[in-house]
Structure 1
Amino acid sequence: MPETRADYRLLRDMPTRWFDNDIYGHLNNTVHYQLFDTAVNAHLVETGVLDPHTGDTVFLVVESGCRYFAPLSFPEVVTAGLRVAHLGRSSVRYEIGLFGGEADTAAAEGFFVHVNVDRQTRKKAPIPDAARDVLEALR
C-alpha cells in the first residue's frame, strides 16, 4: 500500500512540465527519478549543506529505485515527501513519496542512496556535522 503525506518529514511542491508526459499521457518513469533528485538536492542546497560548485565534498547517487501506484501528469503539481531512512558515516538513504494534486496517498514511492565523497578524489568522506544535523532532522 502506498504511504500518506503524514509519513514524510518534509513536503515540497514541484510543478510538472509539458515535456514530462510521455506518449501515454502520463509522466514518463524517468521523470520520477528527476523529481527525487531535485527534491533531495534542493533541500541540501537550501539548507546550506551542499555547494555543488565549490564544496570540498559532494553527494553521489549510488543506488535508486521506484514503485508506481498511480499516474501523474502535466499540468499537475506534484508534492514530494522526503525522509531519511538511514544515516551512516558517509552515506544516507532517502525515501521519497510523490503525490499528485491534493491526493493524500503516494502515486509513486522511491528511494535513493547518497554517498558523500571528496570532490577531487571521489573517495568516501564522512558526512560533515552540519549536513548530519540537517539529515537527522529528516529521520
Structure 2
Amino acid sequence: MSAAPATRADYAVFHEIATRWQDNDVYGHLNNVVYYELLDTVVNRYLIEAGVLDPATSDRIGLVVESGCKYFASLAYPEPVEIGLRVAHVGNSSVRYEVGAFAKDSDTAAAEAFFVHVYVDAKSRRPAPLRDDFRAVVEALRVA
C-alpha cells in the first residue's frame, strides 16, 4: 500500500456491497470497524464463489494473522461500496490480500487495507500448504 490512494486499475476484481444504517458512526461516516467487515467479506465471497472455500466443510481455513488499513476519504450509508481485490503475495500456506474501498463513481480508493491469511488445517489449526486449486484461484488475483 502506497501513501497515495490506489485506483480501480490496481485491482483484479470488484464486488459491490450495500451499506447499512448501523454502519455509520456518530460522525456520519462508516466506522473503521465496518471497513474491515466489508473487506473481509469480499475476500471470503471471492473464495466461496470460486469454489475453493466452504466455511462449514473445508479442511483448511484462513486465519488473519496481520492486517492494516489506510483511510483517504469518507464513505457513508446509504451509498453502496465497491470493493476491489488483489493478491500481493502467495506463500506456502499464506496469502496477502489487498483490498480497496471505492465510492460508486470514484476512481480512487477511499480506503485501502491488507489481510494476511495463514491457511491451517480446520481441526488441528496448524499451517497447511495451499492446495493447487486454491493457489490457482488466488494467483489469478495478482495485478502486475
Verify same fold: TM over 0.5. yes
Deviation at 1:73, TM superposition (A): 0.2
Q: 1:50 aligns with which of 48, 53, 63?
A: 53
Matched, 1:4 2:1: no
Counterpart of 1:117 in structure 2 is 120
Q: 2:34 aligns with which of 21, 31, 36?
A: 31
SS in 2 for 1:138: coil
Counterpart of 1:86 in structure 2 is 89
Residue type of the alignment partner of 1:123: R
Deviation at 1:56, TM superposition (A): 0.9
Q: 2:25 aligns with which of 6, 16, 22?
A: 22
Unaligned runs of at least 5 residues, structure 1 = none
Counterpart of 1:66 in structure 2 is 69
SS in 1 for 2:108: coil
SS in 2 for 1:103: coil
Aligned residues: 139
Counterpart of 2:79 in structure 1 is 76
Cα distance in structure 1, aligned partners of 2:59 and 2:105: 40
Runs of 4+ off more than 4 Å? none
Deviation at 1:121, TM superposition (A): 0.4
Residue type of the alignment partner of 1:37: D
Residues 85-135 of structure 1, C-alpha deviation per residue, up to 9 Å, x if partnerless?
000000000110000121110000010001110011000000111110000
Cα distance in structure 2, aligned partners of 1:82 and 1:55: 22
Cα distance in structure 2, aligned partners of 1:16 and 1:105: 19
Deviation at 1:51, TM superposition (A): 1.1
Task: Among all aligned residue pairs of Structure 1 and Structure 2, give the percentage whose two residues are the same amino acid.
Answer: 62
Deviation at 1:64, TM superposition (A): 0.5
Residues 41-76 of structure 1, C-alpha deviation per residue, up to 9 Å, x if partnerless?
000011110111011111111111000000000001
TM-score, normalised by the number of residues in structure 2: 0.95
Unaligned runs of at least 5 residues, structure 2 = none
Cα distance in structure 2, aligned partners of 1:98 and 1:86: 20
CA RMSD between the two structures: 0.5
Cα distance in structure 2, aligned partners of 1:6 and 1:13: 16
